[in-house]
Structure formats: C-alpha cells, structure tokens
Structure 1
Amino acid sequence: MLIELSGSTPPANQIADQLRGLISSGQLAAEDKLPSVRQLARDLSVAPGTVAKAYRALESDGFVTAQPGGSTRVSSTASTTNRRVIEAARALSAQCAKAGVPLDEAVRILRATWGA
C-alpha cells in the first residue's frame, strides 16, 4: 500500500479505500488477518491512530471484524466484486499506466463516463 501524506485525501481514508479494494477484488479473503494497527502504522510511516481510524471505518462498513485480543480480520460477509468487473478494472489500469495517465485522472474519466 502507498499513502500520499501530502495528498488531499486523509491518510486514514486512503488506507481504508485501499483495503476495501483488496477485499472487494478478492485479494484479501474472508477471515484473512490484517496487520496489527501498530505494524501497519510502522509499515506506512503513519500514526497508529490513523490506522485505527481506517480499521474502525472498515468495521463500520462491514468489511472487517475486530476480534477479542486485538486482531482484525476480513469479515466473512464481505463480498467480492464480480470477476468481469475486476478484469475490466485491471485492463483500464494497464491501459492508463501504458498511456501515462495518472490515477486521479483515470478516476475522473471513470466518473465522467459512469453509466454512459
């Protein structure tokens, strides 16, 4: 995971969004254990409270469950996105990377074409 500390999106939101993506894409499966708050904070060079805030948001949205003893796992009820949608997203990602289109621009394009 990469966090842009100078970006306009708060780090906790970036962490939660990236973990949502990993869960929705099936890269993190039901019951997979997430890193501890302290470990992920160290790995990302952010404050533990930032990771805790992201984990709370994910729990509130039903993506993860906090276990007694402090471990956090992917919820057994967290659903993955349809495989064809994931493949299309990967194709879009590859095309954007090949063309030098930055992520924020790709997101703007996707939003502009949503439902069209």
Structure 2
Amino acid sequence: MQLSVDPSSATPPYEQIRARIAELARSGELPTGLRLPTVRALAEELELSAGTVARAYRELEADGVVETHGRRGTLIASTGDTAHRLAAEAATEYAERVRRLGLSRGDALAALDTALRVAFPEEQEN
C-alpha cells in the first residue's frame, strides 16, 4: 500500500490518510481482510506522529472501513454493506432530529440538500 501525505495541503494529514485508505478499500485495491500496517509502522513510514495515524485509523473504524482485532491488527472491513448500513443509521438519526426540532419535511430536505452540495462540490451541475 502506497500512501503519502502532502504537508502543504490544507487538508490535515490524518484526513489525507483516512480518505486515501477509504478510497482504496472502496475500489477493492485494499481487499477485505487485508491487514494494515501498525500505527507506529505507518507513522514512521510517513514521518508523522503515531497520534496522527491513530486518529485516521479511529475515524476509519467509526466509518466501518476497518476493524480492529487486537493482536491481529487493523483489517479492511467489508465496506459495501457497512457503508450502506451506517448511511441508513445516520439518515434515520437525522430524520428523528429534524422532526423533534419541528422542521417540515421540505425544510429538512432543503437542509440536507445544502449539506450534500457542500460535501460533494465536484458533482455540482453547471
């Protein structure tokens, strides 16, 4: 696995690591069950602090991209089902929260549409 971090980027190093590993897992370049380097080994390879790599791994685990198995290490999870399940859970939580806030369905959808436009600027129509 080839990872690099651009120190001049506005994106924090942990996020660069998280995004790249997630991308490689989604594409299948990092197959399910593949063991990732230890936090310390990857930190040394990238010349970063172990805390930076640990944060990337924690965020990947929270997103369901990796699973941590103690001595067996950090492994790439089966992301297809996990990603959809986590997205459905987040959508349900959002729907419940906007309902408690008293927003209409239209207002909730407008807020969600705005958030998605910010999250996916590359998909904006001209």
Structure 2 length as normaliser, TM-score?
A: 0.62
- The Cα shift of 1:2 comes to 1.5
Q: Distance in 1 between matches of 2:15 and 2:42?
A: 14
Q: Distance in 1 between matches of 2:80 and 2:31?
A: 9
Secondary structure of 1:41's counterpart equals helix
Q: Distance in 1 between matches of 2:27 and 2:56?
A: 18
Secondary structure of 1:69's counterpart equals helix
- Aligned-residue Cα RMSD (Å) equals 1.9
Q: Distance in 2 between matches of 1:10 and 1:70?
A: 28
The residue type paired with residue 31 of structure 1 is G
Identify the residue that residue 111 of structure 1 maps to in structure 2: 121
Identify the residue that residue 85 of structure 1 maps to in structure 2: none
> Aligned pair count?
85
Identify the residue that residue 26 of structure 1 maps to in structure 2: 28
Q: Which has the higher contact order (CA 8 A, sep 6+)?
A: 1
**What percentage of residue pairs aligned between the two structures are identical?**
35
1:78 aligns with 2:88: no
Identify the residue that residue 92 of structure 1 maps to in structure 2: none
Bigger helix fraction:
2
Q: Distance in 2 between matches of 1:79 and 1:36?
A: 24
The residue type paired with residue 57 of structure 2 is Y
5 Å-filtered alignment, 1:1-116, equals 1-69=3-71, 71-75=73-77, 77-79=78-80, 111-112=121-122, 114=123, 116=125
Structure 1 length as normaliser, TM-score?
A: 0.67
Larger radius of gyration: 2
